[in-house]
Amino acid sequence: MKQIIIAFMVLVLVLPACKKEAGIGGKKTIYGTVTYKNGASSSFENASTAIVHIAYGTKSTSSSFDQSVAVEETGAYHFDGLRKGDYFISAEFTDENGFIYTTAGYGVTVNNRKEKLAVDIKLQ
């Protein structure tokens, strides 16, 4: 009986410590397209030189990020190999005239059901 109690206590104490946190090491992907509202034409265009930032383990505004990626020429970006959990995504873009476009950011949750989560970013 004593061995069963000890085994139960080990499970109770060890299993929560094995919980994986948000971040790299999984099979999930967050992807999307970054566009900006061109001041001259008032239309949304691909932000082909934007930088997208991601913070792991939070859905709140963050001043520090865990990873950044450059946007492809089509405006596409992706973060691959993520675990389930909460993430905060933000982006910035500077156009050819030096105007800076940003967003307040997006708090998202990747769960077990979705392998891929689309988050399109509109900068103004």
How many whole angstroms separate alpha carbon 88 and alpha carbon 60?
A: 6
Q: Within 13 A of 80's CA, how many CA atoms are on the CB side?
A: 1
Owning domain of residue 81: 21-123
The answer to whether residue 71 is domain-embedded is: yes
What is the pTM assigned to this prediction? 0.80
What does the radius of gyration of the chain's CA atoms come to, in whole angstroms?
19
What residue type is assigned to position 18 of the chain?
C
Average the pLDDT over 1-26 and give the result.
Answer: 56
The answer to whether residue 10 is domain-embedded is: no
Which CATH number goes with the domain that contains 106?
2.60.40.10
Do 109 and 89 meet the contact criterion of CB atoms below 8 Å apart? no
pLDDT tens, residue by residue, 65-90:
999 999 999 999 999 999 999 999 99
pLDDT for the residue 22? 87
- Total count of domains within the chain: 1
